[in-house]
Amino acid sequence: MRAAPIDLRSDTVTKPDDEMRRAMVNAEVGDDVFGEDPTVNRLEAEAARVSGQEAALFVPSGTMGNEIALNVLASPGTEVICEAQSHVFHYELGAMARLSGLMPRPVAGVRGVPTAAQVEAAIAPDVVYRARTGVVTLENTAMSAGGLVGRPEPQREVAEVCRRHGLPLHLDGGRVFNAAAALGVEVSELTSFVDSVMFSLSKGLGAPAGSMLCGSGEFIAEARRVRKLFGGGMRQVGILAAAGLIALERGAAGLLPDHAQAKRLAEALAEMPGLTIDPVAVETNIVVAGVEGDGDPASALVERLAASDVLAVTLDRNRIRFVTHRDVSSEAMGEAIDRIRAVVR
């Protein structure tokens, strides 16, 4: 019999469990474009509370949440200061340019995050031939940097630079619950000082779909309009919000086992020939290993792993990414490590 694939491509592959499905079946619903879905309204209130922001909006995806934020916070023709490997720059199909007329100003940061000094240096001077800076973005955890955790202090320093220059700050907190879990702090410690934050319900938190965009009441009122503009106004979507409420109830602490699994995987990979990884640098649920060789060794390895029913993705030609999540048991992780070892050997 063929072994079941162990899916470590992303934490987005998690499937709603029985408790979530029951809540979805029983959800009270209404037309959310009219603001009449009681379950969505409860989820938005809860997301605002958890993030330490005034208000929140349920959006279909993290990408839409980020792109709504940029659209609301910056005017067309202005620049978006973002990290050089960030999701908004690399993995959103140039949406900031296509949907909002914005231009990225990428900065190679430290641990996947631009420092306050780097942000300050990247702000456009007030000269007639330069586009103005419109908004600054951060990402926590920093996905491409291997899920590294952004500490509150350096991020607050960036917020302070933004405040001094009258610039809004958006946080792509797709996995900010992982960051909070790793640091043992409340999510709001990482999110309350930004102008807007997006966090995903559909990654490690295990909901089938949806993200939350949080900010001031005024920001969210405008974001609601832009969500409609981008085609994200959904109707009886309390069915999804019910799953989101359970994801929030489980919260950051529920992610710690994923972090432990990631560490275990990283320690095993560090012993394997042809792979380079420092397990100390694995802080959350993302494990990025260097793959030695010429050409495109990362893709070749991903293909060979898939043939052994371990699914991973490449980040580039020499880097492979594994993501741990609630649907990979400790036993399955042991099996995945054995299969990877056999392939690499």
- Nearest approach in angstroms of CB 146 to ligand PLP is 12
The H-or-E segment that residue 322 falls in is strand 319-323
CA distance 54 to 32: 19
Residue (39 or 66) nearer to ligand PLP, CB: 66
Residue (37 or 67) nearer to ligand PLP, CB: 67
Residue (51 or 200) nearer to ligand PLP, CB: 200
Q: Which residues neighbour 334 within 8 Å (Cβ) at sequence distance 6 or greater?
A: none
Contact residues for ligand PLP, defined by CB under 6 A: 61-63, 66, 87, 139, 143, 172, 174, 200, 202, 211
Among residues 291, 313, 334, the alpha carbon closest in space to that of 342 is found at 334
Q: Estimate to the nearest angstrom the gap between the alpha carbon of 253 and the chain centroid.
A: 17
Residue (78 or 200) nearer to ligand PLP, CB: 200
Residue (72 or 143) nearer to ligand PLP, CB: 143
* Pure H helices in the chain: 18-25, 38-51, 62-73, 87-90, 95-100, 116-122, 152-165, 176-183, 188-191, 217-229, 238-250, 256-270, 297-307, 330-344
Strands 169-173 and 133-139: parallel
Terminal C-alpha separation, the chain: 23
**Cα Rg of the chain, angstroms:** 20
- Nearest approach in angstroms of CB 135 to ligand PLP is 16
- Nearest approach in angstroms of CB 66 to ligand PLP is 6
- Nearest approach in angstroms of CB 334 to ligand PLP is 26
Residue (7 or 139) nearer to ligand PLP, CB: 139
CA distance 200 to 172: 9
Residue in the shown chain whose Cβ atom is closest to ligand PLP? 62
- Nearest approach in angstroms of CB 83 to ligand PLP is 10
- Nearest approach in angstroms of CB 60 to ligand PLP is 8
